[in-house]
Amino acid sequence: MKRIVITGMGVVSPLGNDLSSFWDALVRGESGVRHLSKLPSTNYKGNMLAAEVDWPDSNVPANLQEESNAVHYALQAAQQALDHAGLAYPVAHKNAYALIVGTTSGNQDILERTLDRYYDPEAEHEFSDEAATLFARMRPIRLSALVAKALNFGGLNMVIPTACAAGNYAIGTAYSMIQAGRTSVVVAGGADAFTRSCYTIFYRLGGMTHQDCRPFDQNRSGMVVGEGAGMLVLEDLEHALARGARIYAEVKGYGLSCDAYHRVAPDPEGEGAARAIRKALYSSNLKPQDIDLISAHGTGTPANDVQEAKALAKIFGENLPTIPVSGLKSMLGHCMGAASALEAIAATMSLNTQISPPTKNTEQVDPDFPYALDVMPGEARQQNFSHVLSNAFGFGGNICSVVLANYSSTLQPEAA
Amino acid sequence: MNNQKIVVIGQGFSAPGGTGMEHFQRAWLEREIVPPSAPRETYDPHGYLGKVGLKFIGKSTVMYCNLAYQCLESAGIAANTYTESQNIGLYDGSELANLEEAWLFDLSAKVEGADYVSPMKAPNTLANASASFMGLKSKMFGANVSVTGGSAGFLQALDIATLHLQFGLVDYAVVAASDVVSRYHQIVFRGMQSASLLDSSSIGVGLTLASEQMAQAIDAQPLCEILALVSAQAIQQETSLDVLDRLLKELSVFSRFEDVFLAGSGIVDFPATNASFPGFEGYNFHYPESQIGHADSASGGIAFLAAMLQNSNLPRAVVAIDQIGYAVAVLIS
C-alpha cells in the first residue's frame, strides 16, 4: 500500500481567499455569514442569509472572464495549493498530474447568466449564436478541464457532482488513483459558486435558517447557503519525500455509501452515514477509539444533525462524548461541493497545529441525541489530535467519510 | 488493492430504435438505421420502475434506471441479492442529464419567483439525480458515484468503478450514461460548434462489472476482461490526435492490439466507420457512432459495446475523446 499525504492547500471561502485568513478566522470563531447580497432578497421571504465569497473582478483571469465563477474559484484554490506545496505551474514538462473537482451545481451560474442576458419570453425558442456559445460554457467537464489546462496537467481530470459530499468524494477518488499508481500528484477538492437555483432549492425545501446556523443545537433551525473552493495537493509519500516537500497530514482512507432513503432527506436513523464511517475506518485500518476529532457534516438542519448524531453514536458508543466534534458550517455556511474540501483543509490544519476551531452559535446540544456531543462551543480547543474523521452527506443520499492523520504520529508505529 | 481480473458480466442499451442488446446488435452488426429523432413513448419500456411517481423523475433518470436494471438482469444479479446490498456500486457518467430540468427550474425561479418553483423538482436539477434515484429505488447501499466527463463520461465512470472493484470497495459495479437530448442540449451543441453532436440521439449504455472471483460466485459469464485503463488531458499545444497517440502508446505497454474503437465529440468530425489517420498506420480504427448515432456522454459506451462484439484474438482499445481535449482509453480482451 502506498501512503498518501497532503502537501498543499488552497482556499476561496466566505472567511477569506487564502489559507491563513481562512484558518485564523475559523480559530477566532468569526462568521462568514451575512445578509444575502448576490440575489435580490426581495424574491425570498424572511431574513435571508448567505455565506458569500468576496470576489472582485480583478481576481478573474482575463482569458476566463466568460467562464463559471466555479472555474475561477477552483483555479485560484488550485494555484494556491500548488504554491503551498512548492510545485511549479503551469507544469513545464510532460506529466500525469491529475485534477479532481467535486461540486454540487457545477457551472450552473452559466445557465443562469445565459437566461439573464438572453432570455426573451416573446421568443423563447430563439437563441442567438452568441447565447449558444455562452450556454455551452456550462458543460460540467469545463470545471476540471479548464483548470487542468491552465495548470498544464496532462493526467486525468474529472468533475464529481455528488452534491454536498462531493469534496470528500474527490479526496477519496484521488487517494485511490494514487494508490493504483495512476499518478503521483492529484489536486483534489471542491468548488461551487453561488447560484439562484441552489439558493432557491434550499429555500423551497425549508432548509434555511433565518437566524444563524447552530449545528447540533436543540434550537437549530437550518443551514446557510455558501460558496467557495477548497483544493488539496495529495501526493504519493515517496514522491513528496523525494522532492523534500513539507507534509501536513496523511490521508488514511475513506468510505462511501448510499442512504437510499429519500430524494431530499437523510435516513433519520443515520444508517447510511454509519455505513460510510465504518467503511472509512476499515479502509484506514483504524478503530473508533483511534479517532480524536470529528469534523461533522453538521449543517444545522433538524434532520441532518439528529441523523449524524445517531450515526456517530452507532460507531463511537459511550465514548462519543469524549471526542471533540467541530461544526464549521456555523461559520462558513454550507459551501456545497466545496464544504467537505474546506473542512478537510481545516482538519489538516488541526492536525498540524493541534488546534480545533470552535462550533459557533451552538449553546445547548440537543438533549434528544443518544449521547451529548462535545461541540467545542465558543472557543477553539488546543489538544493532541492524531486522527480526524470528516463526514460529508449529499442530496440524494451520497455519503463519503474520510480519515486524515497526523503524519508524524502515523510514522512512529511503522518505524517501531 | 487486489490483483483480481475485472470482467464485464452484464450490459444494457437504450436508443430511439429500441432497447436492449438485441437492438444494439441490429444497429451495429446488421446496420439497421434509425433516425435520431424517432419518437419514444417511454425510457423504461420494460417497466422496471412501475408507473407511480414517475412524473417527478427526469427522463435521463428513467433511462439510467432502465439501463441499470438491464445490467443487473443480464448479469444474473437478482433483486434479493442487490436489495440492501452494500457491495454493489452505481456509477453514472452522464454529462448533461439534468440540463432540461435545471433550465426549467431556474427559469421558473427567475420569471415566476422563488415561491412558485416546485420543490419536488429540485433533485432533478442536480447531476447526481440518476444514480442516487436508482440507489433509492433499488435500495442499493453501496458506493453511488456520478461523474461528468463530457464525451469521455461513460469511460470515466467505468474508470472509477474499476478502481473500486480493484480496491474491494464493491463486489459488483453498474456503470451507465444516459443523456436524453432536449432542445437545451441542442443549444449547447450549437455553442460547441459540433455539427455531429447536433445530430445526437438520446442513447444510453450500461455495463455490469465484477472481479473474476465475484463473477464466478454468481455463475456469471464474463463478456470481456478490462486489461488496462488510462486517461489524459491535452497539454500545451497537443491536439486530440496527440492525446490519442499518447493513450494508445500507454495501452500498448500492456498488450499488442490493432483494433481501436473511437468515440466522442473530440473526434466526431472524422469521416466514417473505418477512419484512418496519418501517423496511426498499423491500427484499424472503428467509429461506431457513425452507425449507431452520435451520443455525448454515452459515446464511450457505444464504442465499448462494439468492441466487445468484435471477433478478434487480440485485445481491442476503446477511446473516448471530448472536444475539450480530455480522453479515456480502455484495453479489453
Ordered by start, the domain boundaries in chain B are 6-217, 227-332
Find the CB nearest B113 among A43, A111, A160: A43
- Give the CATH number of domain B6-217; options: 3.30.460.10, 3.40.470.10, 3.40.50.11030, 3.40.47.10: 3.40.47.10
User: Across the interface, do A177 and B163 touch by the CB < 8 Å criterion?
Assistant: yes
- Among B122, B136, B144, beta carbon nearest to A201: B122
Residue A62: which residues within 8 A CB-CB, separation 6 or more?
none
**Contact yes or no for A141 and B150 at CB 8 A:** yes
Cβ contacts (< 8 Å) between B233 and chain A: which residues? 145, 148-149, 153-157
DSSP 3-state of A378: coil
Judging contacts by C-beta atoms under 8 Å, the chain A residues touching residue B330 are: none
Task: Convert the pLDDT of each residue in B105-152 to its tens digit.
Answer: 999 999 999 999 998 889 999 999 999 999 999 999 999 999 999 999
Q: Closest-CA residue in chain A for B84?
A: A260
Query: Which of the two residues, A104 and A408, has the higher pLDDT score?
Result: A104
Which chain B residues touch A279 with a CB distance below 8 Å? 169
Q: Would the ipTM clear 0.90, i.e. be above it? A: yes
Sign (positive or negative) of CA dihedral A133, A136, A141, A147: positive
Asked if B144 lies within 8 A of A162 by C-beta distance, the reply is yes
| Most B-contacting residue of A134, A156, A182, A205 (CB-CB within 10 A), to test interface | A156
Instruction: Give pLDDT, residue B2.
Output: 63
pLDDT score recorded for residue B269: 56
CA–CA gap between residue B262 and residue B307 (Å, rounded): 10
B187 vs A91, A112, A132: nearest CB: A132
- On chain B, the residues whose CB falls within 8 A of the CB of A195 are 106
Distance CA B134, CA B123 (A): 13
Compute the nearest-CA separation of B233 from chain A (Å): 5
Determine, for residues A149 and B235 on separate chains, whether the beta-carbon distance falls below 8 Å. yes
- pLDDT over 90, % of chain B: 74
Would you place residue A409 in the very low, low, confident or very high pLDDT band (cuts 50, 70, 90)? very low
pLDDT attached to residue B275:
62
Interface size between A and B, measured as CB pairs under 8 A: 242
What is the per-residue pLDDT across A357-385, written as a single tens digit (0 to 9) for each? Answer: 999 999 999 999 999 999 999 899 999 99
B297-329 pLDDT tens trace: 999 999 999 999 998 899 999 999 999 999 999
Question: A398 and B126: CB-CB below 8 Å?
Answer: no
- Asked if A142 contacts A72 with a C-beta cutoff of 8 angstroms, the reply is no
Residue B1: its pLDDT value, please? 58
Searching chain B, which residue's CA lies closest to the CA of residue A207?
B119
Mutual angle of helices B153-166 and A166-179, in 10-degree steps = 70
A257/B143 CB distance under 8 A: yes
Q: Are B240 and B234 in contact (CB under 8 A)?
A: yes
**pLDDT, chain B, mean:** 91
Instruction: Check whether B4 has a pLDDT greater than 90.
Output: no
| Least CB–CB distance from B148: residue in A148, A159, A180 | A159
Task: Provide the pairing of β-strand B6-15 with A381-382.
Answer: unpaired
Residue B280 has pLDDT above 50, yes or no: yes
Q: How close B50 gets to chain A, by Cα (Å)?
A: 17
Q: Phi and psi dihedrals of B314, rounded to 5?
A: -90, 155
- Are A397 and B144 inside 8 Å of each other by CB? yes
pLDDT in tens, A109-135: 999 999 999 988 887 667 899 999 999
* Total number of residues shown for chain A: 416
For residue A98 the three cell numbers come to 491529475
Judged by CB atoms closer than 8 Å, whether chains meet at B141 and A257 is answered as yes
Q: Tell me the HSE value of A348 on the side-chain side, using a 13 A CA sphere.
A: 31
Answer for the pair B56, B112: CB distance below 8 angstroms, yes or no: no
Q: Dihedral sign, CA of A360, A363, A369, A375?
A: positive
Of the partner residues B106, B142, B146, the one whose CB lies closest to the CB of residue A115? B106
CA dist B248 and B230 (Å) reads 9
Cβ distance of A173 and B160 shorter than 8 Å: yes
Residue of B nearest to A121 (CA): B111
Other Cβ atoms within 10 Å of B5 Cβ, number? 17
Residue of A367, A41, A11 whose CA lies nearest to A196: A41
Q: What is the spatial distance between Cα A148 and Cα A14, in angstroms, rounded to a whole number?
A: 24
Beta-carbon separation of B326 and A116 below 8 A: no
Mutate to test the interface with A, among B235, B247, B254 (most CBs of A within 10 A): B235
Crossing angle of helices A302-316 and A271-283, in 10° steps, is: 50
What residues of A are labeled active site?
A: 164, 297, 334
Instruction: Write out the three cell numbers for A119.
Output: 432570455
Joined grid coordinates for residue B210? 465484477
Measuring CA to CA, how many Å separate A50 from each of A15, A42, A199, A392, B275? 12, 14, 9, 20, 53
| Closest CB to A205 among B119, B164, B169 | B119
Give the list of residues 6+ apart from residue B145 with CB closer than 8 angstroms, or none.
A160, A162, A169, A256, A398, B89, B90, B91, B92, B131, B157, B160, B161, B164
Instruction: Report the pLDDT value the prediction gives residue A414, as an integer from 0 to 100.
Output: 43
Q: How confident is the model at residue B268 (pLDDT cuts 50, 70, 90)?
A: low
- What's the pLDDT score for residue A415? 39
The CATH topology of domain A4-415 is Peroxisomal Thiolase; Chain A, domain 1 (3.40.47)
Is the predicted pLDDT of residue B87 greater than 80, yes or no? yes
Decide: A266 and A302 in contact? Cβ < 8 Å: no
**Three-state SS for A102?**
strand
B30, B22, B178: which is closest to B95 by C-alpha?
B178
pLDDT of res. B293: 85
Q: Bin A326: left if φ > 0, else alpha if -120 < ψ < 50, else beta.
A: beta
